[in-house]
Amino acid sequence: MHIPDGFLTTPLWLSLDVVSVPVVGWCGRRAQAGTDESKAPLLGLMGAFVFAAQMINFPVAPGTSSHLLGAALLAFTVGPAAAVVVMTAVLSLQALVFQDGGLLALGANVFNMAVCGVLAGYLPYRYWGAGRLRRAAVFLGGALSVFVAATLAITELLLSGIRIPGAALGASLLVFAVSALIEGTITVAVLEALERINPSWVETRPGQARPAMGLLALASVVLVTVGVLFASAAPDGLEKLAVRAGINERARALMETPLAGYEVAFFSGSWAAKAGAGLVGLALAGALGWALARVIGRRRRV
């Protein structure tokens, strides 16, 4: 679902860059109200888990795959404002270090997944998440976060003058709908698993939430070391749509990195290449989330 450089027109990606920067900044200021320095481990761990989950593609249709977005899960655990900041950090890391998503199109990806994806995921939880409909609200939030982000990406391609055949558009929307249902199911399963181990674990002090946080840490490591062995190599929904629309060759990278494609360059093609890149990404995502929480917490205290 990450839009690469070369797909969007300059006025569109530039406009979304201009819009996304102040929105994320505003969310950072809003996050100060509910985040203190004691939450730094949680934000770092959630950022690392979302990064790990996004590395693992699973088949959703013949020749097409998808992966967990994690925007709704972040919103449910750290709050919507902090979720936007953490998701933006993950997307920036993916673009700058792993060449997943364009640098110029980063504003578009942040707008689609970090801003609108988080908002769409959080709204059902905000209004129906406290009563009998909680599980349905969590499921709907997870599903909406993916479908809204995907629909925005397709809309931006259309606004950039890309002609998408009707059959390809319909097939892509169906793939994204299936991906959304899977996202909702996984979001419910992960949240309920964490809460069975530590009820109200997000509100407790970090020391008291160690079992749930330990599960998240273990799951993250397993995903990037073992999960990569079973991950689908098929293109995701947006990549498949680009092939169907005949624009896949437009994608370009503005720079080369040694971890491009989530593989360590000198181990290319091996399990060590993927696992090594995943472990580096985990460390970077965790450290970045932790550092952001510390900064937000200090500003709040001041």
Identify the CATH number of the domain in which residue 217 sits: 1.10.1760.20
For 93-143, how does the pLDDT look when each residue is reduced to its tens digit (9 = 90+)? 999 999 999 999 999 999 999 999 999 999 999 999 888 899 999 999 999
Domain range enclosing 281:
10-301
- Kindly report the backbone phi and psi dihedral angles of residue 33, in degrees, each rounded to the nearest multiple of 5, phi listed first: -70, -25
**Where is mean pLDDT largest: 28-37, 80-89, 200-209?**
80-89
Q: Dihedral sign for Cα 85, 90, 93, 94, please.
A: negative
Domain assignment present for 5:
no
Return the SS3 of 198. Answer: coil
123 within 8 A of 72, measured Cβ to Cβ: no
Domain assignment present for 29:
yes
Domain assignment present for 207:
yes
- Kindly report the backbone phi and psi dihedral angles of residue 269, in degrees, each rounded to the nearest multiple of 5, phi listed first: 90, -5
Domain assignment present for 109:
yes
For 136-177, how does the pLDDT look when each residue is reduced to its tens digit (9 = 90+)? 999 999 999 999 999 999 999 999 999 999 999 999 999 999
Distance in angstroms (rounded) separating the CA atoms of residues 290 and 40: 5
- Domain count along the chain: 1
Q: What's the Cα-to-Cα distance from 45 to each of 34, 58, 72, 178, rounded to whole Å?
A: 17, 23, 15, 28
Domain assignment present for 205:
yes
Residue type, 86: V
Q: Average per-residue pLDDT in the chain?
A: 90
pTM given for the model: 0.94
